[in-house]
């Protein structure tokens, strides 16, 4: 198809078999709203189609997005299916880095030789992040853009500043056991759910995009925004801007790395606390270290205070505990999630001890 030509658009009905004489029920169990659907075979065509619709959105694996549309949390006027776009390759770069296409499936990335060999923390985070069925469908770009798992956001009726700015945060005065203790504001305390994003933050990945303003690279730590006063704005993307790839720079230290995830059950579950760690020890001292935390913050959290504390110091459990305490000194726990502070401290110590004792595999 000529990328200058508009996409053919199809109108999807509100709900198959819905009796039009019955009143519409709003909220989580209400009928799915009608929207248009188009399938793109060109990047620029997809970008133009989404940009032309105020509530247009891209559709990749859809493992989260489709659920949110069904629940009336997301209300697109157009979904542009991008699964035919040539953005699914996992490439080894000459300098030792990686280029991961935005449509590469999680399962393919997890077993790619360059990922397993040079970035085990990425491979492990993908394997721990979802069931095999979901990994076979979910895309890397979609994983980075997945929405929070806060029940108040997803029930479509509770006050939620992410869903309806200015309505309030139900979690602050409600159930918040799984919520964040770092990077919170009085507008939102929801944790970011992605596992692989935590690993990518630890290795300073760059998110490549193309949109109405052209192409750009966004350092991944800047790709996720703190809630502040605008929790509904989670990423610095323009409307119609598409993730095309994730670039991982060469990080020799990452060859010795681990992704450690603590959760309520051993089967696939979201993290209470997770740690992506890589460390290089020379003559008993920490020469290089990378740490990022998941499950405890409103974005994948680079533990820079802990890294600074560790550099040049002894690679001992006591030093690891002190560094973890410095990182968590700014935590703002609430009654139900206060346990996360101590759990995060212990998980950091455990991950670093595993790496320095040689039992990370």
Residue 303's contacts (CB-CB under 8 Å, 6 or more residues apart) are: 291, 292, 293, 327, 348
Q: Is the pLDDT of residue 4 over 60?
A: no
48 and 117 co-located in one domain: no
Span 328-352, average pLDDT: 98
pLDDT class of 268 with cuts at 50, 70, 90: confident
Residue 352, CA distances (Å) to 73, 118, 205, 289, 306 in order: 40, 18, 21, 9, 11
Q: Mark which of 81, 111, 140 sits at the end of a domain.
A: 81
70 and 134 co-located in one domain: no
179 and 269 co-located in one domain: yes
Domain limits at 334?
A: 90-357
Domains identified in the chain, total number? 2
Q: Is the pLDDT of residue 17 over 90?
A: no
Residues 38-87 pLDDT 10s:
999 899 999 999 999 999 999 999 999 999 999 999 999 999 999 999 99
Instruction: Provide the mean pLDDT of the chain.
Output: 92
Distance, C-alpha 181 to centroid of its chain: 17
Is the separation of the CB atoms in 36 and 79 below 8 Å? yes
Q: What's the CATH number where 44 sits? A: 3.30.43
Q: ∠ CA 299-304-310 to the nearest 5 degrees? A: 140
pLDDT at residue 27, as a whole number? 45
55 and 121 co-located in one domain: no
Q: Is the pLDDT of residue 10 over 60?
A: yes
- Three-state SS string over 84-122 comes to CCCCCCEEECCCCCEEEECCCEHHHHHHCHHHHHHCHHH
Residues 181-227 pLDDT 10s:
999 999 999 999 999 999 999 999 999 999 999 999 999 999 999 99
Span 306-321, average pLDDT: 98
pLDDT at residue 34, as a whole number? 87
189 and 282 co-located in one domain: yes
73 and 169 co-located in one domain: no
């Amino acid at each position: 198809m000529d990328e200058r030509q508009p996409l053919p658009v199809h109108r999807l009905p509100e709900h198959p078999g819905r009796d039009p004489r019955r009143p519409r029920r709003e909220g989580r169990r209400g009928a799915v709203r009608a929207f248009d659907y188009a399938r793109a075979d060109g990047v620029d065509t997809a970008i133009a189609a989404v940009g032309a619709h105020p509530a247009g959105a891209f559709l990749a694996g859809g493992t989260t997005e489709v659920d949110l549309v069904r629940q009336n949390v997301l209300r697109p006027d157009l979904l542009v299916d991008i699964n035919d776009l040539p953005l699914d390759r996992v490439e080894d770069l000459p300098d030792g880095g990686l280029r991961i296409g935005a449509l590469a499936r999680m399962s393919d990335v997890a077993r790619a030789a360059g990922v397993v060999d040079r970035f085990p923390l990425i491979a492990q985070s993908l394997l721990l992040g979802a069931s095999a069925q979901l990994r076979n469908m979910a895309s890397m770009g979609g994983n980075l853009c997945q929405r929070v798992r806060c029940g108040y956001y997803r029930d479509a009726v509770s006050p939620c500043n992410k869903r309806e700015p200015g309505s309030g945060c139900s979690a602050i005065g409600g159930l918040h056991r799984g919520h964040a203790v770092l990077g919170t504001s009085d507008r939102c305390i929801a944790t970011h759910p992605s596992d692989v994003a935590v690993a990518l933050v630890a290795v300073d990945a760059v998110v490549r995009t193309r949109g109405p303003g052209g192409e750009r690279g966004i350092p991944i730590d800047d790709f996720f925004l703190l809630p502040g006063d605008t929790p509904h704005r989670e990423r610095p993307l323009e409307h119609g801007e598409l993730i095309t790839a994730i670039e991982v720079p060469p990080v020799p230290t990452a060859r010795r790395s681990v992704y450690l995830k603590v959760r309520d059950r051993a089967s696939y579950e979201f993290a209470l606390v997770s740690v992506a760690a890589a460390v290089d020890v020379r003559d008993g001292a920490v020469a290089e270290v990378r740490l990022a935390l998941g499950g405890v913050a409103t974005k994948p959290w680079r533990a820079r205070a802990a890294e600074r504390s560790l550099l040049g110091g002894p690679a001992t459990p006591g030093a690891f505990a002190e560094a973890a305490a410095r990182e968590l000194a700014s935590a703002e726990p609430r009654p139900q999630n206060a346990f996360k502070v101590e759990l995060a401290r212990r998980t950091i110590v455990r991950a670093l001890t595993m790496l320095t004792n040689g039992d990370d595999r």
